């Protein structure tokens, strides 16, 4: 080995130290995955080399077969991995093996609880990667040289996985990376051919390039040492090119972990070969858990793109819409050019048609999951439901399909869980019901007791309860499902259509006539606070309610706009009163106009409170109420 120069000791980034600590302490029950992670990296490194060599063939340096070699030394208690991929230079090593580049990492680390069980789940979401080497090793040496760099620009990285690492420059004849794991005491089992072979078969069979182990050979006569021979232990063909029927579930699952850098099995996958005008293979996965950065704008997303089996880029985001950003997978096209760029992808009409086909595949896969594995789908909805709700606005063409995948809380189920599909809802609809009724609000607790639901309770009509921040916005994009219109029960003049009998309607008209005088008095008393006053047919227990005008913004949207500092158009509610309520009867009989006005304002404010709104002048409300209380007790 040549002399090392430019030796320096550098500290790990804080997040790396945290990750290392966590990994060593929470993944000991699943130690063997370190090999999968290192092989996954070696495979990525070879993919990158192949791609860069398309433009610069000299990077292949004469062109030995691309492969990964895993060897061991029982005496020294070491395991060594070697690849002839892209390699790293000094700078690469310092950033890739000393920091974590993912955005949002610091925030993620803040979520760690110190509870090892919980944290090991979190770490799974985060991805374990290179640092998993320290689960089994108490010292790791990395020797690497970047493809195309001179032999003298090799680099040696070394660390005990504590606070710091060393880097030095040295000669390295072969391109690529060699990693030497100095196994901890007690981890000797990994310095063994059978053990390594089994781990590779179990986790890395799908890796598309050969993974070799040394072959046991006897020394020839007269020779002291046997000649070195190697044998390939994995299948070494691209998984997605193989026929579906030949691929086992475990293989699909391990392949997922490799490409998604995930730790857990996926919920579902869809593997397809498309032939005809366009030719491509796709293998798409639904993860079991949301990544920690699902809501970060800059978070990487998209599929791994191959062109004719050659890796071209990670995170090709043009193949799926934004609301499906959680989908992981591979697409391998025969139509694109090998030097396709992100910019070209954005404009290429081929991509548009692939995008709509892949989108449909994902939606079909989710439909299937919902139908065949409702429990799994529940988990999916918990993790990704909020993102799916972005769908109808973004993907007009698939609106109906997406709507079918949505799940809602509803008056039919006291758990408050989002578990009712629109199909469930319609299957339970009352005879003559041709609308889908819903109510939006701030929380389940608040909407579930809303006075707006009174008439629906009385008539036994189900109402969907929507309390996610995005819901009102979502509903502004959904106008109907299966030919049935959506109706916001807090909006406009509630018309129950056929659900009200002719007699009901007649009775309503009569009451309205009877109360014309009261309506006029209320209008005068409430003045500018309301856009209209009318007799309500939706109340059984409450005295009054505020309805939103047909075209006005709802409470949720108003609050979102206000919070983001935007100007919210002024709108006034409609005041509806329950003519049969004793308070309203009392009001009707009130002789003093002064007291009538106070009383009306109190009812108005109460209706606002019941709807989850805040009062414009809470002090006035309290003053009026107290005045009334004093008079009462006098
Ligand atoms: P990830 O694979 O998710 O990027 P890792 O922690 O596994 O994260 O690896 C960190 C980075 O280190 C890789 O992205 C890559 O840039 C670099 N790296 C690791 N192993 C190798 C290797 N064998 N050859 C070249 N680069 C590597
Ligand atoms: Mg990795």
> SS3 letters for 20-63?
HHHHHHHCHHHCCHHHHHHHHHHHHHHHHHHHHHHHCHHHHCCC
- Atom of ligand 1 minimally distant from the CA of 40: 2
The whole-number pLDDT of residue 68 equals 97
What is each CA distance from 378 to 34, 248, 288, 382, in whole angstroms? 32, 25, 11, 6
pLDDT digits (tens, 9 = 90+) for 410-425: 999 999 999 999 999 9
Q: Report the C-alpha gap between 596 and 619 in whole angstroms.
A: 19
The whole-number pLDDT of residue 204 equals 92
Average predicted confidence (pLDDT) for the chain = 91
In this structure, the residue with its CA closest to atom 1 of ligand 1 is 129
Between helix 193-204 and helix 249-260 the angle, nearest 10°, is 90
Helix (H, G, I), strand (E, B), or coil: what is residue 223? coil
Ligand nearest to C-alpha 144: 1
pLDDT digits (tens, 9 = 90+) for 29-52: 789 989 999 999 999 999 999 999
The whole-number pLDDT of residue 1 equals 55
Split at pLDDT 50, 70, 90, the class of 337 is confident
Q: Report the C-alpha gap between 498 and 576 in whole angstroms.
A: 22
Please report where in the chains the tokens 């529940």 appear, as a residue. Answer: 378
- Atom of ligand 1 minimally distant from the CA of 48: 25
**Residue ranges in 460-617 assigned as alpha helix (H):** 471-475, 502-514, 516-526, 555-563, 582-589, 593-610
In this structure, the strands spanning 154-159 and 164-170 are antiparallel
Q: Report the C-alpha gap between 556 and 539 in whole angstroms.
A: 23
**Contact by Cβ (8 Å): 333, 280:** yes
Q: Report the C-alpha gap between 63 and 367 in whole angstroms.
A: 47
Name the pTM for this structure: 0.82
In this structure, the residue with its CA closest to atom 4 of ligand 1 is 129
The whole-number pLDDT of residue 153 equals 97
* Domains in the chain with CATH codes: 5-235 (3.30.565.10), 240-380 (3.30.230.80), 407-499 (3.40.50.11260), 506-633 (1.20.120.790)
The whole-number pLDDT of residue 124 equals 65
Centre of ligand 2 to C-alpha 39, Å, is 8
In this structure, the residue with its CA closest to atom 8 of ligand 1 is 129
Centre of ligand 1 to C-alpha 330, Å, is 19
pLDDT digits (tens, 9 = 90+) for 451-477: 999 999 989 999 999 999 899 999 999
> Mean pLDDT throughout 262-290?
95
Six token digits for residue 464: 């969907």
Split at pLDDT 50, 70, 90, the class of 484 is very high
The whole-number pLDDT of residue 232 equals 96
Helix (H, G, I), strand (E, B), or coil: what is residue 296? coil
Helix (H, G, I), strand (E, B), or coil: what is residue 565? coil
| Pocket of ligand 1 contains residue 85 by CB under 6 Å | yes
pLDDT digits (tens, 9 = 90+) for 508-563: 889 889 999 999 999 999 999 999 999 998 888 999 999 888 888 887 788 778 88
Percent of the chain with pLDDT over 70: 99
pLDDT digits (tens, 9 = 90+) for 291-321: 888 888 788 899 999 998 888 899 999 999 9
Centre of ligand 1 to C-alpha 614, Å, is 53
Centre of ligand 2 to C-alpha 124, Å, is 13
Q: Write the DSSP string, 356-410.
A: HHHHHHHHHHHHHHHHH-HHHHHHHHHHHHHHHTTHHHH-GGGHHHHHHH--BEE
In this structure, the residue with its CA closest to atom 12 of ligand 1 is 96
Q: Is the pLDDT of residue 125 over 70?
A: no
Centre of ligand 1 to C-alpha 211, Å, is 17
Q: Is the pLDDT of residue 85 over 60?
A: yes
The whole-number pLDDT of residue 570 equals 79
In this structure, the residue with its CA closest to atom 13 of ligand 1 is 96
């Amino acid at each position: 080995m040549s002399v090392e120069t430019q030796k320096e000791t550098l500290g790990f980034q804080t997040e790396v130290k945290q990750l290392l600590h966590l990994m060593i302490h929470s993944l000991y029950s699943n130690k063997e995955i370190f090999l999968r992670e290192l092989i996954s990296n070696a495979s990525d490194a070879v993919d990158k080399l192949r791609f860069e060599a398309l433009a610069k063939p000299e990077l292949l340096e004469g062109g030995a077969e691309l492969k990964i070699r895993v060897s061991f030394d029982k005496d020294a208690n070491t395991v060594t991995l070697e690849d002839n991929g892209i390699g790293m230079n000094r700078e690469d090593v310092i950033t890739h093996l000393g920091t974590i580049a993912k955005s949002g990492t610091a925030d993620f680390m803040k979520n760690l609880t110190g509870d090892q069980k919980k944290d090991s789940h979190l770490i799974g979401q985060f991805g374990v990667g290179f640092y998993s080497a320290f689960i089994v090793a108490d010292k790791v040496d990395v020797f690497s040289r970047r493809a195309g760099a001179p032999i003298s620009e090799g680099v040696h990285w070394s660390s005990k996985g504590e606070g710091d690492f060393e880097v030095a420059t040295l000669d390295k004849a072969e391109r690529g990376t060699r990693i030497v794991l100095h196994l901890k005491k007690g981890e000797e089992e990994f310095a063994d051919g059978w053990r390594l072979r089994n781990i590779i078969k179990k986790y890395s069979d799908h890796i598309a390039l050969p993974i070799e182990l040394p072959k046991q050979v006897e020394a020839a006569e007269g020779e002291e040492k046997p000649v070195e021979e190697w044998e390939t232990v994995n299948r070494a063909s691209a998984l997605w090119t193989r026929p579906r029927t030949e691929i086992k579930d475990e293989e699909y699952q391990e392949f997922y972990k490799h490409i998604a850098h995930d730790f857990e099995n996926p919920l579902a996958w869809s593997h397809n070969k498309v032939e005809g005008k366009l030719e491509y293979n796709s293998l798409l996965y639904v993860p079991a858990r949301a990544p920690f950065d699902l809501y970060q704008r800059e978070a990487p997303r998209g599929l791994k793109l191959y062109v004719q089996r050659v890796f071209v880029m990670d995170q090709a985001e043009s193949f799926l819409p934004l609301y499906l950003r959680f989908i992981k997978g591979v697409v391998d096209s025969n139509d694109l050019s090998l030097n396709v760029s992100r910019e070209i992808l954005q404009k290429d009409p081929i991509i548009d048609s692939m995008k709509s086909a892949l989108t449909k595949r994902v939606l079909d896969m989710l439909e299937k999951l919902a139908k065949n594995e409702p429990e799994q789908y529940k988990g999916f909805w918990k993790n990704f439901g909020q993102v799916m709700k972005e769908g109808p606005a973004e993907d007009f063409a698939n609106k109906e399909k997406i709507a079918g995948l949505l799940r809602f809380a509803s008056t039919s189920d006291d758990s408050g869980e989002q578990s009712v599909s629109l199909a469930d809802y319609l299957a339970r609809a009352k005879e003559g019901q041709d609308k889908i009724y819903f109510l939006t609000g701030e929380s389940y607790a608040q909407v579930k007791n809303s006075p707006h639901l009174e008439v629906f309770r009385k008539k036994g009509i189900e109402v969907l309860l929507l309390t996610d921040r995005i819901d009102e916005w979502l509903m502004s994009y959904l106008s109907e499902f299966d030919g049935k219109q959506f109706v916001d029960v807090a909006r406009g003049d509630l018309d129950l259509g056929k659900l009200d009998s002719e007699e009901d309607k007649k009775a309503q008209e009569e009451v309205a006539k009877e109360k014309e005088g009261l309506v006029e008095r209320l209008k005068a008393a409430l003045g500018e606070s309301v856009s209209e006053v009318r007799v309500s047919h939706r109340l059984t227990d409450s005295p009054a309610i505020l309805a939103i005008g047909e075209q006005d913004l709802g409470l949720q949207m108003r609050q979102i706009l206000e919070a983001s500092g935007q100007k919210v158009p002024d709108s006034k509610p409609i005041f509806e009163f329950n003519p049969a309520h004793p308070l309203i009867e009392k009001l009707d009989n009130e002789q003093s106009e002064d007291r009538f006005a106070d009383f009306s304002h109190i009812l108005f404010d109460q209706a606002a409170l019941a709807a989850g709104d805040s009062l414009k002048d809470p002090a006035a409300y309290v003053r009026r109420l107290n005045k009334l209380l004093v008079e009462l007790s006098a």
